[in-house]
Amino acid sequence: MRGKQIFAVLLVVVILAGVGGYLYFSWKADQDRLRAEQAANAARSRGPSGPYVAPKPLTEAQLPAFLAQQAMIKDLPSGANIEIRTTSNVYTVTDKGISAGAATNPDMTVWLPTKYIADFTTVGFCATLQKGFKAGDIGIDVHGSKISLGFKYSGLLQYRSCIGA
């Protein structure tokens, strides 16, 4: 009887240690990814002579050119049609580029408060999106069938961590 109790206690300890280890290493992986993104942002902001130059906050006027350089945008599928609404402007993002103005029949609308735009260059693109989604400030309205859009945009699953998914 005593042996069964010891075994049960040891089993509980092993399970708790396993769960704790999993949680710790998941947290550690997220921290490492954020550090890598911050290091990449710092490397991009170095001047020609090499010393660190703090990145300048992005302005809304620079947003279309900035977004066009992001891997997530470059990887949009053929026929992509996304509308991004900031506090003061509307942009259309397609697989061909980004333009000012409302999209005709968009697949989805992304609501992006202007207060997050400056952080794209200082904090990082994905880190800023994660922060906005977590706060509930950034949102996505899907127009049409979620299943068909899921198939259409399945190539973007590699970026799901950017939206906190």
pLDDT at 3 over 80: no
CA distances from 78 to 38, 82, 95 (A): 31, 12, 6
146 and 81 within one domain: yes
What global pTM score does this model have?
0.65
141 and 89 within one domain: yes
Q: 135: number of CA atoms within 13 Å, CB side?
A: 13
Structure tokens at 29: 């992986």
Distance CA 58, CA 73 (A): 17
- Place 163 in a pLDDT band, splitting at 50, 70 and 90: confident
Residue type present at position 100: A
CB atoms within 10 A of CB 111: 15
DSSP letters for 42-99: HHHT--TTSS--PPPPPPGGGHHHHHHTSHHHHTPPTT-EEEEE-SS-EEEEETTEEE
The arithmetic mean of pLDDT across residues 49-72, rounded, is 80
158 and 79 within one domain: yes
pLDDT at 25 over 90: no
pLDDT at 160 over 60: yes
pLDDT at 92 over 90: yes
38 and 4 within one domain: yes
Residue found under tokens 């609404």: 85
Length of the chain: 165
pLDDT at 114: 92
23 and 5 within one domain: yes
CA distances from 140 to 67, 134, 143, 159, 163 (A): 17, 13, 10, 15, 10
45 and 96 within one domain: no
Residue 151 lies in domain? 60-163
pLDDT at 43: 60
Boundary-marking domain end, from 23, 39, 54: 54
The number of domains in the chain is 2
